[in-house]
Amino acid sequence: MKALEEKILREGQILPGNVLKVGSFLNQQIDVPFMNEMASEGVRFFSDKAITKVLTVEASGIAFGYAVAAKLNVPLVFAKKSRTSNVSGSVLQAQVYSYTHNTNYTATVSADFLTEKDTVLLVDDFLANGEALKGLAALAEQGGAQVAGALIAIEKGFQKGGDALRQAGMQVESLAIIEEMSPERGIRFRP
Ligand code: 5GP
């Protein structure tokens, strides 16, 4: 998505550890009209799938997940990173290694919200090594739901999570794929 690539070049900051900061439109301040444009662009890839739910992980997946779910007119489910009193009864859980925090967390969803009746679209803001997506796919599978694929705002293609998941057969669509990123050479996108 050309407009997203241009926005990343204009507003993105490259932080140590191959982390891209896009706090001005995706990760802290949310550019709502632009998020809606991203969602419109993204859902086209999955127009042949009868998606019943969007699944993401708190916190930074929620804004894009909400926009995508609104376009599809389906509920958004988000996995919690810890079990709170909001998640009661039977739960689905998966261990996930967090790239940005360098720790593990237990992604948790109430079993009521992902069932064998569901076809789920996984959504996240970033894709790096694919740990978050693998965790979300594991939650869907535990609930007996089908995974339609994954829609990502920004994929860091030089970290191989996306390519590995595609090779494993998942439909992974990213609106912008960064091929190379460094403070010295800037950002280059996959054509
Ligand atoms: P993965 O699990 O694919 O290794 O990493 C994806 C998760 O880590 C996403 O949920 C995202 O929140 C976070 N993440 C990974 N790389 C970046 C990055 O460069 N910038 C930001 N803002 N988040 C990232």
- 62 phi/psi in degrees, rounded to 5: -70, -40
What sign does the CA torsion over 178, 182, 187, 190 have? negative
pLDDT digit string (tens) for the chain, length 191 residues: 999 999 999 999 999 989 999 999 999 999 999 999 999 999 999 999 999 999 999 999 999 999 999 999 999 999 999 867 667 789 999 999 998 888 999 999 999 999 999 999 999 999 999 999 999 999 999 999 999 999 999 999 999 999 999 999 999 999 999 999 999 999 999 99
- 31 phi/psi in degrees, rounded to 5: -85, 95
What pLDDT, on the 0 to 100 scale, is given for residue 85? 65
> Of 151, 149, 191, whose CA–CA distance to 61 is shortest?
151
User: How many angstroms is it from 174 CA to the middle of ligand 1?
Assistant: 13
In the block, residue with structure tokens 């535990």: 142
Nearest CA to ligand 1 atom 5: 128
What pLDDT, on the 0 to 100 scale, is given for residue 84? 72
Nearest CA to ligand 1 atom 17: 19
Domains in the chain: ranges and CATH: 35-179 (3.40.50.2020)
Q: Which atom of ligand 1 lies nearest, measured to the CA of 19?
A: 19
CA distance 93 to 79: 9
Instruction: State how far Cα 99 lies from the chain centre.
Output: 13
Do the beta carbons of residue 109 and residue 50 sit within 8 Å? no
What pLDDT, on the 0 to 100 scale, is given for residue 100? 83
Do the beta carbons of residue 15 and residue 120 sit within 8 Å? no
